[in-house]
Amino acid sequence: MSDFLQRLHERKLVQWALAYVAFGFALLQGVDIVAQRFAWPESIERALIVVLAIGFFVAIVLAWYHGERGAQRVSGVELSILALLLAIGGGLLWRVSQRTASPAAASTSVATDAARSSSTLPAGSAALPAIPEKSIAVLPFDNLSDDKANAYFAEGMQDEILTRLAGIADLKVISRTSTKRYESKPDNLKVVASELGVVHILEGSVQKAGDAVRVNVQLIDARSDSHLWAQTFDREIKNVFVVESEIAQQIADVLKARISPQEAQALAKAPTENPAAYDHFLRAEFQLHRAWSSFEDADYSAADGEFEQAIGLDPNFALAYARRAFNQLGRHWSYTRLSAQRLLEVRSWIERALALAPDLASAHSALGFFYYWGSRDYEPALAAFARAVQLAPNSIDALSGTGFIQRRLGQWPQALDSLQRALAISPRDSLVLDEYGSTLMMLRRNAAGEPNMAKALELDPGDSNAKDFLMRSRLFGSGDVAGARAAIDPPPAWRIPYHNLLAGDLFNLVNARVYPDLFERHFDAALRQWDSAPHDSDEERLTQRVARVAIKLVAGERASLQAECSSLQPVLLAQMKQQPDSLSALQQTSWIELCLGHNAEAIAAAQRATQVLPLSKDAFFGVYQIEGLAEIDAHAGAPDEALKLLDKLLAIPAGQSVTVERLKGDPLWDPLRKDPRFEALIKRYEADRKHDNDRAGQLTPPAAGGQRSNDRPFFSNR
């Protein structure tokens, strides 16, 4: 034995081992620092550890046989010691690999459940990626307060904790638009985790009484239904911001999430030091979420009033400025246009937010929507969204906004990819499902798009957008009137101002609720529906009158309309004088001039709409304006021009408005029906559609001349 120890000493085996361990430790520390800064995956460090462990045994063997005195033979004792060292090393490696693989295997279990549930996902949906270990969903917090009106406070607490976690790049955090659909403490956490694509669930409750707040939270591993961490926080209302930061920080610690210095600073920073201002902010967010679902002006106004009070109490409340701007921009886009002066004021709120907090993701996201919704200025909007995603990688607004703009730019694969990324962090988000499905419908891939819209309606039966999209798809995609009626049963809100923003297409004037009756030539039923339409504003009353005129014109009743059209003409001309670029005024004027037999004036108004919003500026609204011109041409005795426009529309992504099935069945196109060129057009594109259906995975419809175009811009309701 002494001889063996002498050999160890001669070969400096201990020195070699210590030097190797020191080198390996230093290397791992250096790699860990770099990995945190660049958000490298953990698999890189795990692989390095395995390589270093194997390298250790190789170094020991080399040192033994090539020490300073060398060795020509191996004795039996030496062989035994080498075998023992290799056995110990192999065993250690096996244990490490098992521990490393264990979470992955467990994640695979959840992923398998997710895959099972994804077997019922809509066709065309993105395949679910492997569920990362560091993934979490924050479920709605229970409101345990005696005053049930404090629901806004519990929702706000959940939302703020979620927002703080969403800013950590090393975590996958599910958006509130998906988690809001669950109970605070669901019975089957494993199913919930599978549906949301996460490993961990945070449950909580909030009890508010006067100036005191109690918050209970528990972090659960859904794979084993085991509690990883739980805590109760009793605080005064003025210290509630600290609770949100503490909870987010402790969750990150438990999940071993890497946090950059910038993320740590954002995690700890309170949005305001004024409790009253924060209370108004939470009330505003509660109303904003309602407005996002209802598209009702009253909800937008209520949210704006609460934001205004929050800012009044704390003029340095950056987040309140940003979210107030977002609320007003949503109103501008989805309900009624803001004046140029009001838009400038909204821009000033965003600038104020960025001046107060340059790294506030919500402010950069609001800036993106300002450029996007405010002026259709896509490049700076994309830059702002990119910065928002950089600051908050789980920002659903910025991710989905990026996808919506990419569609407008005709970047179809990128748009679908961005929307799939958005669905990864918000898989049960009816809005993103709507828009993903409508993108496929625009490309005339209705069979893939419809299940996404149906899934959106399953999640949110009152989703008016999903109803509109699904109804259009069934009516225009396959001529399925019964299916179209089922899609809007119960009927969606009239949303007359919203449809007037789209204009162009007669569908938008007649309204989604009414169009199936017109499509089936039940003109009296369509008119009766308009009898019950809202007419509380001048806009609603005017739209009601013009829509009735258009329905009767399609029904061939022009002679009986002269008195009504004569009374409407000066009203619309006055409106045109005040708002020469109003798409709704241009559309309505074109139909009234058509009614009066002023065909040249009718065509001129429709042409003006295509100049106000051309395809190069906004391909979806632009498509509607081109179709509106084709409709007027068809009814004004200009079939040559109408057919040229329809040929163009069938050749580009325009599946929400012009399809072969719609041309075949919609009475709107009766003036062209006896023209052999119209029938030839239908047959040609019907054959092309069949050819497309036989070619799976095609992203764009056939362009004129048999070529394909990928550079068409696109617009969405978002």
Mean pLDDT over 522-526 rounds to: 97
| Within a domain: 436 | no
- Top-confidence residue, 156 or 638: 638
Q: Are 346 and 338 in contact (CB under 8 A)?
A: yes
Helix runs in 180-274, H state only: 189-196, 240-254, 261-268
671 has pLDDT over 90: yes
Neighbouring C-beta atoms of residue 333, cutoff 10 Å: 18
Let me know the angle formed at the C-alpha of 314 by 312 and 315, rounded to the nearest 5 degrees.
75
CA distance 39 to 37: 6
- Which of the listed residues 253, 276, 299 is the one where a domain comes to its end? 276
Domain that holds residue 686: 494-706
- Which of the listed residues 221, 251, 276 is the one where a domain comes to its end? 276
What would the two tokens of residue 119 be?
Answer: 């077997």
- pLDDT for position 269: 84
SS3 state at 188: coil
Give the single-character DSSP code of 231: E
- Number of folded domains that form the chain: 4
Residue 296 and residue 251 share a domain: no
Residue 310 sits in a domain whose CATH number is: 1.25.40.10
Q: Name the nearest CA neighbour of 53 among 28, 76, 35, 33.
A: 28
Give the single-character DSSP code of 131: P
CA distance 598 to 207: 67
Residue 296 and residue 268 share a domain: no
Residue 664 and residue 522 share a domain: yes
Hey, which residues does 328 pair with through a beta bridge? none
In a 13 Å sphere around the CA of 387, the CA atoms on its Cβ side amount to 18
Q: What share of residues in the chain are helix, strand, coil (percent, to 5)?
A: 70, 5, 25
Digit-coded pLDDT (tens) for 20-49? 666 666 666 666 655 544 445 555 666 667
SS3 state at 279: helix
Percent of the chain with pLDDT over 90: 49
What would the two tokens of residue 368 be?
Answer: 């993106």
Strands 172-173, 135-138: pairing kind: parallel
Per the omega criterion (within 30 degrees of 0), is the bond before 140 cis?
no
Mean pLDDT over 598-606 rounds to: 97
| Within a domain: 130 | no
Digit-coded pLDDT (tens) for 617-651? 887 788 999 999 999 999 999 999 999 999 999 99
Residue 171 and residue 254 share a domain: yes
CA distance 471 to 486: 8
294 has pLDDT over 50: yes
Residue 317 and residue 258 share a domain: no
Residue 266 and residue 175 share a domain: yes
If 0-12 CB within 10 Å is exposed, 13-18 middle and 19+ buried, where does residue 521 land? middle
468 has pLDDT over 80: yes
For residue 75, name the pLDDT band (cuts at 50, 70, 90).
low
358 has pLDDT over 50: yes
Mean pLDDT over 455-469 rounds to: 88
What would the two tokens of residue 489 be?
Answer: 């049963």
Which of 24-33, 349-358, 514-523 bottoms out in mean pLDDT, i.e. has the lowest? 24-33
- Which of the listed residues 346, 377, 408 is the one where a domain comes to its end? 408
Residue 398 and residue 329 share a domain: yes
- Using only the alpha carbons of the chain, give its radius of gyration: 32
If 0-12 CB within 10 Å is exposed, 13-18 middle and 19+ buried, where does residue 449 land? buried
| Within a domain: 712 | no
| Within a domain: 468 | no
Q: Are 425 and 174 in contact (CB under 8 A)?
A: yes
- pLDDT for position 502: 86
124 has pLDDT over 50: no
Residue 267 and residue 297 share a domain: no
Residue 220 sits in a domain whose CATH number is: 3.40.50.10610
For residue 2, name the pLDDT band (cuts at 50, 70, 90).
low
SS3 state at 710: coil
Residue 582 and residue 700 share a domain: yes
Counting every residue written for the chain, the total comes to 718
What would the two tokens of residue 699 be?
Answer: 């992203």
| Within a domain: 571 | yes
Neighbouring C-beta atoms of residue 51, cutoff 10 Å: 11
SS3 state at 15: helix
**Unique residue bearing structure tokens 């329905």:** 551
Digit-coded pLDDT (tens) for 390-413? 999 999 999 999 999 998 888 888
Which of 33-37, 249-253, 487-491, 652-656 bottoms out in mean pLDDT, i.e. has the lowest? 33-37
Residue 667 and residue 613 share a domain: yes
**Unique residue bearing structure tokens 């790294």:** 359
Residue 265 and residue 317 share a domain: no
Residue 671 and residue 543 share a domain: yes
Torsion of CA 540, 294, 333, 543, to 10 degrees: -10
| Within a domain: 302 | yes
- DSSP assignment of 687-708 equals HHHHHHHTSTT--SPBPGGG-B
For residue 286, name the pLDDT band (cuts at 50, 70, 90).
confident
- pLDDT for position 121: 41
CA distance 482 to 494: 20
- pLDDT for position 5: 59
Dihedral sign computed on CA atoms, order 658, 664, 669, 674: positive
Q: Are 255 and 169 in contact (CB under 8 A)?
A: no
Terminal C-alpha separation, the chain: 80
| Within a domain: 451 | no
- Top-confidence residue, 12 or 651: 651
| Within a domain: 427 | no
